[in-house]
Structure 1
Amino acid sequence: MNEDSEPGTVRPGGRTARVRASVLRAAGDVLAERGFAHLDLADVARRAGVGKTTVYRRWGAVAGLVADLLAEMVEESVPHAETGSLLNDLKANANLVRRTLCDPRQGALFKAVIAAATYDERTAQALRRFYDARVTEWAPCVTQAIDRGEVPAGTDPCEVIRAVSAPLYYRLLTIGEPPDETAAERAARAAAAGARAGVYVR
């Protein structure tokens, strides 16, 4: 393992990959059911059916386990849409976020990790890496819209993508309700309108 790597972030294969999948699934279950404060490596090992020493040796600490869980979620995320229209691409992005936050397990998991990131710096860093990866994946939608002349040159693609998901997360975290289809539609339309108006020009 590279000495600069976060524990658990080097990708394994074979039986090690199966162990990783089992442990990360168990960790996600605990986060969704009980929150970050109750995430215990020994409990995760028991749920996953693997030895405690395996978990401690590979991930080292809870923060390393959460970092790897978020890395896996990036790997499994849906690639960006290419509909030929910025608005439709942003609608696809908004609906992906909506489905994630409305999922009983995924929505609870994200709430737990976001809450933990407010006081655990390693978790905060892992969460930032997760969102950086997702924003980077979807940024080409805006770059293509610039090339088509839909939005002004100099528009910041990453800021447009962040503008789509921000109100959906805000709704979940402030009023405790996952966003519905209307909220997703509104978020996509607002971001597209702002982009066309030059709001996100650097």
Structure 2
Amino acid sequence: MNFESGDKLSIEKISNHMPNTIRAFKRDSVTTYEEFIDLLYESMDEAIDKLERNPQYYINDDEDKLTYSIATLLQQIGYNARHGHKNGGNIDLFVEHSKSEWSWCGEAKIFNQIDNINEAFLQLTTRYRNNSVEYNQRGILIYIKKQDASKYLGQWRNMLFDKDGVEILEDERKKLFAFFSEHKDNSSGVMMKIRHRGICLYHLPEDKSGRSAKKYQKVRESISE
């Protein structure tokens, strides 16, 4: 890392050269649970962006492999992220801060039909547990391997909107492919906030090699059904 002679170091300059170091510093310096969650979503979105940039590598991956990939990417930048952690059940993605009562848990599903996503919601809200009932933000990762991903996420949002006691909130970070819901946790009586994150993994090239490639055959068959 080279700076001009006499140049003073600043957070901005260091950040350009060592983004993961700055992120780790910020993560370890947070003073509230909300700050921890906000930084987590920022990092998680960066990990998801990496998957979405190369969906051809994940065509035949199931939700466990996809979630393991996200957990690994989070681990690489210093998060205590685990796939298959047990708190009330087998949690797909669990992230824990060094302040151990701060945690986040998520359920992951490939969008086959909307009932599958509703089951994920019920698992997340009635089975799984954070480390503390006071700090209980959670999330659903929705892997969409279909065309028009925003349409399917919208269908799920509309279904949630019709549930009694559930409030829908906008996600300013990812307006088109994420939103929040809030409702009272039946167990603790504390409000639970959930982020619903659509992940676009549809990939079906229509050029000559794409039409003939065997790895795309399952995708074509699913479209024709």
TM-score (norm 1): 0.33
Larger radius of gyration: 2
TM-score, structure 2 length as denominator?
A: 0.31
Structure that is richer in strand per residue = 2
Structure ranking higher in helix proportion:
1
